[in-house]
Structure 1
Amino acid sequence: MNTPAKLGAYALGLAVIFGGALGAGTAVGSTETPPAANGHQAHTPPPPNQTADAHATHAQPAPSQAATAASIPGGLQVSQNGYTLTPETTTITPGEPTDFRFTVTGPDGRPVTGYQTLHDKKLHFIVVSRDLGGFQHLHPEPAGEGVWSVKLTLPEAGAYRAFADFAPEGGTGLTLGADLHAGGAYKPKALPAANRTSTVDGYTVELDGALTPGASSKLTLKVSKDGHPVTDLQPYLGAYGHLVALRAGDLAYLHVHPDGEPGDGKTPSGPEITFYAEVPSRGDYRLFLDFQHEGAVRTAAFTARAGELPTPATTSSPTPTATPTAPASHGDHNH
Structure 2
Amino acid sequence: MRGDEQAAEQGAGEVGVGGGAAGGPDRSTLRLALVVGGLVLAVLLGFGLGRINSGGAMAAGGSLDSALNGHTHAPGTGAHSHGAGQAEAAEAGGLAVSRAGYTLTPRSAEFAAGQTGELRFQIQDGQRRTVTRFAVVHDKPMHLIVVRRDLTGYQHLHPSMAADGTWSVPLTLPQPGVWRAYADFTALADDGRQTATTLGVDLVAPGEYAPRDLPVPAASTTVDGLTVGYQGNPEPGLTVPVSFRVTAADGSSPKLEHYLGAYGHLVALREGDLGYLHVHPEPELVDGAIQFWLTTPGPGRYRLFLDFATGGAVRTAEFTVLVR
Note whether the superposition's TM-score is higher than 0.5.
Answer: yes
- Give secondary structure in 2 for the equivalent of 1:75: coil
Corresponding residue of 1:300: 317
Matched to 1:175, the amino acid is T
Separation in structure 1 between the aligned mates of residue 65 and residue 321 of structure 2, nearest angstrom: 17
Contact preservation (8 Å) 2:228, 2:244: yes
Give deviations 1:103-124, integer Å, cap 9, x for gaps.
0111221111000000000000
Per the TM alignment, residue 297 of structure 1 is displaced from its structure 2 partner at its CA by 0.1
State which of 300, 304, 309 in structure 2 corresponds to 1:283: 300
State which of 115, 123, 128 in structure 1 corresponds to 2:142: 123
Separation in structure 2 between the aligned mates of residue 83 and residue 13 of structure 1, nearest angstrom: 23
Corresponding residue of 2:279: 256
Matched to 1:98, the amino acid is G
Corresponding residue of 2:291: 274
- The structure with the largest alpha-carbon Rg is 2
Separation in structure 2 between the aligned mates of residue 74 and residue 242 of structure 1, nearest angstrom: 16
State which of 161, 167, 175 in structure 2 corresponds to 1:156: 175
Matches within 5 A, 1:183-194: 183-194=206-217
Give deviations 1:137-182, integer Å, cap 9, x for gaps.
0000012301001010000101100000000012221000000110
Matched to 1:209, the amino acid is G
- Give secondary structure in 2 for the equivalent of 1:173: strand
Is the aligned partner of 1:233 residue 2:259? no
Separation in structure 1 between the aligned mates of residue 254 and residue 195 of structure 2, nearest angstrom: 35
Is the aligned partner of 1:201 residue 2:224? yes
Per the TM alignment, residue 73 of structure 1 is displaced from its structure 2 partner at its CA by 2.2
Corresponding residue of 2:240: 217
Corresponding residue of 1:76: 95
Matches within 5 A, 1:19-168: 42=88, 73-168=92-187
Per the TM alignment, residue 243 of structure 1 is displaced from its structure 2 partner at its CA by 0.4
- Give secondary structure in 1 for the equivalent of 2:103: strand
Contact preservation (8 Å) 1:75, 1:163: yes
* Distance change in 2, residues 1:269/1:144 (3 Å): farther
Matched positions, count: 244
Separation in structure 2 between the aligned mates of residue 110 and residue 13 of structure 1, nearest angstrom: 29
- Give secondary structure in 2 for the equivalent of 1:167: strand
Contact preservation (8 Å) 2:90, 2:277: no
Unaligned runs of 5+ in 1: 1-11, 18-34, 43-69, 261-266, 308-335
- Give secondary structure in 1 for the equivalent of 2:194: coil
- Give secondary structure in 1 for the equivalent of 2:94: coil
Contact preservation (8 Å) 1:286, 1:304: yes
Comparing both structures, which one devotes a greater share of its residues to helix?
A: 2
Separation in structure 2 between the aligned mates of residue 245 and residue 125 of structure 1, nearest angstrom: 14
Per the TM alignment, residue 229 of structure 1 is displaced from its structure 2 partner at its CA by 3.5
Per the TM alignment, residue 270 of structure 1 is displaced from its structure 2 partner at its CA by 7.7
- Give secondary structure in 1 for the equivalent of 2:256: coil
Separation in structure 2 between the aligned mates of residue 87 and residue 240 of structure 1, nearest angstrom: 31
TM-score normalised by length of structure 1: 0.69
Give deviations 1:174-201, integer Å, cap 9, x for gaps.
0000001101011111111111111111
Separation in structure 1 between the aligned mates of residue 286 and residue 194 of structure 2, nearest angstrom: 32
Matched to 1:239, the amino acid is A
Unaligned runs of 5+ in 2: 1-60, 67-82
TM-score normalised by length of structure 2: 0.71
Contact preservation (8 Å) 2:238, 2:296: yes
* Distance change in 2, residues 1:72/1:268 (3 Å): closer
Matched to 2:257, the amino acid is Q
Per the TM alignment, residue 271 of structure 1 is displaced from its structure 2 partner at its CA by 3.9
Separation in structure 2 between the aligned mates of residue 136 and residue 270 of structure 1, nearest angstrom: 29
Separation in structure 1 between the aligned mates of residue 63 and residue 135 of structure 2, nearest angstrom: 19
